[in-house]
Amino acid sequence: MKIHYYSGWFDEALPARYLESLQNDVTNTRSLVLIWGCWGGDELVDFVKDSWLAPGGIVFDEYHLVDNRRTKEEAHRLIKQASVLLLLGGSDLHQAEFFKEYGLETPIRETDATIIMGFSAGAINMPSTCVSFEDGTTTVYEGLGLDNFCYLPYFSLEKHELAKNDYLPLLKEVDVYATAPESFIRTKGTEVAAFGEVYKISDMKMNRF
């Protein structure tokens, strides 16, 4: 059963709770495959490797970045054979377009990887329903469908008040999990675990999760 992590971006080290959870979950360190968020490139591979994972003793034999320099066939192969997938942050809408252009939706859903981590844009695009606020416009669109909800990073109670009349009415049919900075959720099957300040919004009603 696959494990999914959802969070915002962390500019420096991973939060201690996140790293500890990964240390328990990561058992196959053959290949880490990072999927482009349409910003950055090889430097993000080094950042993830050295700043996020190495401090916890999580070292992979191979590190690969899937971006538009790869052929579609090579991208599909790397994703299929990954031990762990990591969806990078960047532009959520452009990343979703990249998934479609390269036909990555099915390979990501059917990957051999037992763990899929999403950060910021990558996490937004992982569940069934996505909401983007890029360019001052609210866009609701279909995601990868790894879990049946919508995910919002960088959340605060103030943002919830603003959201009541903005985008939440567009999400009545799906549960929303929202995390404050430095917080995250972990799913395994239908089980959702909260780490830090996490809220669940269902039918326009919000509760601390």
pLDDT grade, residue 170 (50/70/90)?
Answer: low
Q: What is the pLDDT of residue 167?
A: 66
Q: In what order do the strands lie in the sheet with 205-208?
A: 139-142, 129-132, 150-152, 176-179, 198-202, 205-208
- DSSP characters for 110-154? T-S-SEEEEETHHHHTSSSEEEE-GGG--EEEE---SSSSEEE-S
Note the pLDDT tens digit of each residue in 130-167: 998 887 788 889 999 999 999 999 987 676 665 666 66
C-alpha count within 13 angstroms, C-beta hemisphere, residue 54:
10
8 A C-beta contact, residue 185 and residue 194: yes
Note the pLDDT tens digit of each residue in 27-61: 999 999 999 998 877 888 999 999 999 999 999 99
Indicate if the pLDDT at residue 86 is higher than 90: yes
